[in-house]
Every structure is written in C-alpha cells, then in structure tokens.
Amino acid sequence: MNAQPDARAPSDRAYSDPYLAGAGLGVVLLAAFVLVGRGLGASGAFASTAAGAVVAIAPERAAASPLFSHYLEGQGPWLEWLSFELAGVMFGAWVSAKLARRLRIAVERPPALARGSRLAFAFGGGVAMAIGAALARGCTSGQALTGGALLSVGGWLFLGVAFAAAHTLAPFVRRLWS
C-alpha cells in the first residue's frame, strides 16, 4: 500500500480513517450481540487463564477467590468464550498487519528511553491494569465499549474515570513517550 505523502507523521499515514475503523468495530460489536447475546472483551480471557493456572497448582486457593471461582463453574477456565475471542483478535490483527506490510519485530519507544525501561514500564502498566480490570470486572473492551453501547451505568463510570485518570497522569509520565 503506497499512501500519498501528506501532513501527518509517516507512521500514521498507512492507518485507516479512525471513524471508518471505529464504525467497522461497531458493526463487529453489534454482530456479537446479535449472534451470541454478549459483547466483546479482553481481560476475562486473562482472568480465566489465571484461574486455570492457579486451580492446577492450588485448587483450594482458586475456589476461595471471588475472581477465580467464577471461572471454575460451567465449562471451566480453558473453554472461556473470551479466550477464543482473543485468539481470534491476534489472528485478525496479524492478517491486517500482514496485508498492510506492517509486521515488524520491534520495541516501540521514544529514542531517549532505553529498551529495558520501556519493557519494565510495559510490564508494570500491565500489572496495574490487571488490578483495575479485576475490580471493575472488565477493561476498555468489556466495560467501556460493550457496557457503553448497552448504556450500562458501570460501563460509563469506568470509561469516564479511566480516561480522566490517564489524561491526569499523562503529564507526569511524559518522559515515557517523548
């Protein structure tokens, strides 16, 4: 794909129009409601995988956890719907990047930030998001997007405070991104 040069940064040039990509995403979310009566998500796949790992090592600890016990009912932690959905996400993302010739092994970071530092902050940010998503019972996909589209009070609350917190903290971590 050869995009025409324009005023935007070179790295942005090849990506789709955000409104178009967003509308496409909305159609996918609507299709999920229509096909299976539930929306999209991400964090539940990790919560169920964590439940599966803990129940294999310490079953009594897993059963006592309000987070893990939820995933031990029904078909069990390894047949969680969101885990299959996320496997699909990784496949779909790979196909899209392959078609656009964007596949590249890299650590995304500003030049002034060491590779190791970026990876450490990525890991730490992941830990913090897990705490948040576990308490909120979902993340950007499951609460903000899915809950938001269904006009859930908790979904809108999560959407509002998560973005407010990120915007508020951003000036203090500017070093990580520029």
Partner 1 sequence: MSAPLIADEALGASLGAAVALGAAFGFALERAGLGSARKLVGQFYGRDLAVMKVMFSALVVAMLGVFWLSRWGLLDLRAVYVPLTYLWPQLFGGLVFGAGLVVAGLCPGTACVAAATGRVDGVFVLLGFLAGMIGVGLVLGSFADFYTSGAHGAWTLPELTGLPYGSVVAAVVVLALAAFAGAEWFERRVR
Q: Which of residues 62-81 bind partner 1 (CB under 8 A)?
A: 62, 64-68, 75, 79, 81
Residues in region 29-68 near partner 1 by CB under 8 A = 29-43, 46-47, 49-51, 53-54, 61-62, 64-68
Closest to partner 1 by CB, 4 or 45:
45
How far apart CA 42 and CA 110 sit, in angstroms, is 27
Closest to partner 1 by CB, 4 or 37:
37
Residues in region 130-149 near partner 1 by CB under 8 A = 130-149
The answer to whether residue 106 forms part of the interface with partner 1 (CB under 8 A) is: yes
Q: In the bound complex, what is the minimum distance in angstroms from residue 6's beta carbon to partner 1?
A: 11
Tokens for 58, please give them: 């310490």
Residue with tokens 């890991």: 123
Q: In the bound complex, what is the minimum distance in angstroms from residue 30's beta carbon to partner 1?
A: 4
The answer to whether residue 113 forms part of the interface with partner 1 (CB under 8 A) is: no
CB atoms near residue 100 (< 10 Å): 12
Closest CA to 78 of 45, 120, 114: 45
CA distances from 96 to 15, 99, 125, 175 (A): 11, 5, 26, 31
The answer to whether residue 126 forms part of the interface with partner 1 (CB under 8 A) is: yes
Tokens for 151, please give them: 């006009």
